[in-house]
Amino acid sequence: MQTHPERDDDGDDDAGIRGIDGIRGIRIGEAVREALRRGAPVLALESTILTHGLPSPRNLEVGLASEQQVRELGVEPATIGVVDGVAVVGLSPDEIERLCTADGVVKASVRDLPIARAKRLDAGTTVAATAWLAHRAGIRVMSTGGLGGVHRGASETFDESADLGTLATTPITLVSAGVKSILDIGATLERLETLNIPVVGYRTDRYPAFYVTDSGFSLDYRIESPAEAADLAHARDELGLPQAVLVANPVEAARQLDPEFHDRVLAEALAAASAQGVVGHDTTPFLLEHVQRATGGASLEVNLEVYRGNVALGAEIARAVAR
């Protein structure tokens, strides 16, 4: 069964935040609301991947195709984003198109949500903002491409994605292909440990690095099935722990970006970012764009393959969790 916020057992009166349309401050799309009411499986999808991660017009194709993919697996998709200041859980196809094509769409992590609301902005939501909104709406499972993490040089810049801190307090199950090697993967794994966030490999003992199957870092635990992921989420809930469970789902080795090519392009991208003084939340989109251009689109194809795989696994886990 889906756990609705007003039925949780944390002792506070979550019913009070329920407005006529669902949760106060959040608009829940009709189909998503209906699925949640029935306890049917729902899979949350982020939108920064569409607004800031993928080039146009692939972003719109991917946004709509992923929803279709989720539906074909018998799961209700809930793409999450901000339209005219309103946080929407379950964007309509028109709203997805608007976020993919309009000018001035910002990237919103959790701290940007109140600003976007007050200023009536359009925004793609990051993993952090998406997970937080999804959880608040009562959704248990989410898929993304790559997670934010600790940036290289973070010991000087303090640039660590708000994804990590948010996932430490947001009990959702999140499927990703690890973090991209534009980040400091070792430091990211250390921070996940510090933040008490469980990470398991899906049929692997190796932490993936998004474009490549193996980051060089190993994982202590692996799971073999969606049912095992659901067991893990239930165990977390029984213990009353607030952390997300991270399921690391690697791209098939035969379909990864050639690791040597990958390392070379990455080194160039990092040098360009540093030469142009790119900092803060512009860093991830800048590096991704650079890698996409420098690989002549090969990284984009891997990116889409990785994302399809995560969406498929997320949908299966959503079904297992709802059972």
- What residue ranges bind ligand PSU (CB under 6 A)? 46, 48-49, 53, 109, 126-128, 145-146, 148, 161-163, 180, 210, 281, 284, 288
Distance of CA 112 to CAs 106, 153, 244, Å?
A: 9, 24, 21
Residue with tokens 């430091």: 187
Query: 161 among the known binding-site residues?
Result: yes
* Residue (132 or 210) nearer to ligand PSU, CB: 210
* Residue (126 or 143) nearer to ligand PSU, CB: 126
Q: Which does 201 bind (CB under 5 to 8 A by kind): ligand PSU, Mn ion, none?
A: none
Residue burial 206-241, b: 16+ Cβ < 10 Å; e: rest? bbbbbbbbbbeeebeeebeebebbbebbeebbeeee
Query: 162 among the known binding-site residues?
Result: yes
* CB atoms closer than 10 angstroms to residue 69: 18
The residue range among 71-79, 119-127, 151-159, 242-250 that interacts with Mn ion, by the rule CB under 5 A, is: 151-159
119 as an active site residue: the answer is no
Residue 190 has phi, psi (to 5 degrees) of -65, -45
SS3 106: strand
Of positions 67, 95, 122, 159, contacts Mn ion by CB under 5 A: 159
Closest C-alpha among 89, 82, 76, 116 to residue 19: 89
Residue with tokens 């400091």: 184
- Shortest distance, position 127 Cβ to ligand PSU, whole Å: 3
- Shortest distance, position 149 Cβ to ligand PSU, whole Å: 7
Positive or negative torsion for Cα 64, 33, 74, 197? positive
* Residue (157 or 225) nearer to ligand PSU, CB: 157
Distance of CA 297 to CAs 55, 159, 181, 194, 225, Å?
A: 10, 28, 17, 36, 32
111 Cβ contact list (under 8 Å, min separation 6): 162
- Pick the catalytic residue: 34, 46, 61, 76? 46
* Residue (109 or 170) nearer to ligand PSU, CB: 109
61 as an active site residue: the answer is no
* Residue (269 or 320) nearer to ligand PSU, CB: 269
SS3 98: helix
Query: 8 among the known binding-site residues?
Result: no
- Shortest distance, position 53 Cβ to ligand PSU, whole Å: 3
- Shortest distance, position 159 Cβ to ligand PSU, whole Å: 7
- Shortest distance, position 118 Cβ to ligand PSU, whole Å: 21
Distance of CA 62 to CAs 6, 14, 50, Å?
A: 33, 35, 8
Binding positions for Mn ion, rule: CB under 5 A: 159
Summarize the annotated binding site for Mn(2+) as residue ranges.
159
Residues designated as active site = 46, 180
Summarize the annotated binding site for substrate as residue ranges.
107, 127, 161-163
